[in-house]
Amino acid sequence: MGFKKIYIFALAAAGQGISGGDRIFIEFARRWSKEIPVTIYLWEQGFQMCQRQHLEISNVKFLISEMESWKRLGFIINYFARIIEGIRLGLTTKLENSKDTIVYSASEFWMDSLPALILQLRFSKIKWAAAWYQTAPSPLKGFSGALPYWLVQLPIKPLINRFANFVLVNNDEEKKQFHNAVVVLGAIDLQKIKIWKSKYKNLPKIYDAVFQGRFHPQKGVLELIDIWKLVIAKKPDAKLVMIGDGPLMESVKLEVKKEKLENNIKLTGYLFDGKEKYRIFSQSKVVVHPAFYDSGGMASYEAMAFDLPCVGFNLSSYSSYYPKGMEKAPEGDLKLFADKILQLLVDKKLYGKVAGNAYQLVANMTWDKRARQILDQVLK
């Protein structure tokens, strides 16, 4: 067996938060680099994201493209500048033309997938593992703002399907769209969570429900406020805490203020893994995941590791991601969603059953196991 190397293209990684795809490449790199040299291509914001996740103290080598100056000209200019930089890297990067060389595009966005595609065409013996963690919905029936996302994916999808050696997807439904797909289910850092769980085990439960995720139309954050109004109608003192940030944050703030729900809904903003977030999970009773469109959704896994039952909509992708541990309402039925929350809060037997199933679901979903599984499949 030759000397293996892994090259990760993550020029799409940006912002203060972290997406599921970002989380995956960071946790994989952290573990893969213990036995194989790993190099990550990213820009300043992507490197800062890795620093926030303490990846810089690993064995990973970072090659940082200077793109921050383009950000001053606006998001669109910066976005296309990163695509051009990705193409430049694809045309100029020198790799060993060997089956032991692995290129991993961390997203389907062009700044990650195009350099990997170009390298695959230049070095025909290398292996390309392409991440495709969500297929954009039809712009005619998807979430608000889905059209640009759909247009970005339209030309790149057939190229990935044709040239990538492996396509990493989130669920069995996505797997059907590619001829060489590998399902990557979510994971958590269970050892870290167990430490915090033990520290906080005696804290009082002060939140009836917790949400964690991006404040984005597909995540149902505005609908969650309507759901919570239905909960409050039957339990006036019910408290919801929402962890996260995103493009709908201001809209959520305005809606909470407009409906005078400041005493019932707390917004924390984005929280990093650690003390504050895990304290909130320890003090919550239920985790809610009201996404209307989701390819998987790891956001609730951490909370489920704190023995919290989950409530979500019955999305097709959840048959893979949440086969148990989640009470599911028909998609779009806000009243039944609220009823399922209330039922868990009053029915101790049901609560115990769903909470137990939730923990069983995530108990073996460790990043060590997931990274090993994918590396073995790519290397074989």
How does pLDDT run along the chain (380 residues), one tens digit per residue? 457 999 999 999 998 878 889 999 999 999 999 999 999 999 999 999 999 999 988 899 999 999 999 988 999 999 999 999 999 999 999 999 999 999 999 999 999 999 999 999 999 999 999 999 988 877 776 555 678 888 999 999 999 999 999 999 988 888 999 989 999 988 999 999 999 999 999 999 999 999 999 898 889 999 999 999 999 999 999 999 999 998 899 999 999 999 999 999 999 998 988 899 999 999 999 999 999 887 666 789 999 999 999 999 998 888 878 999 999 999 999 999 999 999 999 999 999 999 999 999 999 889 999 999 999 988 77
The tokens of 189 are what? Answer: 């850092």
Place of tokens 């069995």: 172
Dig out the tokens for 60 from the structure.
């990973």
Token reading at 58: 């690993």
C-alpha triplet 265, 221, 341: angle, nearest 5°: 65
63: helix, coil or strand? strand
Burial class of residue 25 in the structure, from the number of CB atoms within 10 Å of its CB (0-12 exposed, 13-18 middle, 19+ buried): buried
Q: CA dist 94 to 25, 41, 60, 101, 143, Å? A: 22, 13, 18, 11, 41
Closest C-alpha among 306, 319, 310 to residue 354: 310
**Residue 70 vs residues 27, 47, 80, 82: alpha-carbon distances, Å:** 28, 16, 9, 9
Q: Are 5-187+366-379 and 190-362 the same fold in CATH? A: yes
d(CA 55, CA 29): 8
Helix (H, G, I), strand (E, B) or coil at 168: strand
pLDDT for 364 equals 86
- Of 344, 293, 317, 331, the closest CA to residue 186 belongs to 317
Q: Which of 171, 93, 180 is nearest to 129 (CA)?
A: 180
Which CATH number is 190-362 given? 3.40.50.2000
For every residue of 82-104, DSSP letters joined together read HHHHHHHHHHH-----STTEEEE
pLDDT of residue 142: 56
Question: How many whole angstroms separate alpha carbon 264 and alpha carbon 239?
Answer: 5
Whether 14 contacts 37, CB under 8 Å: no
Domain ranges of the chain: 5-187+366-379, 190-362
Per-residue pLDDT, 2: 56
What is the architecture of the domain spanning 5-187+366-379? Answer: 3-Layer(aba) Sandwich (3.40)
Rounded to 5°, angle at Cα 369 from 363 and 371: 135
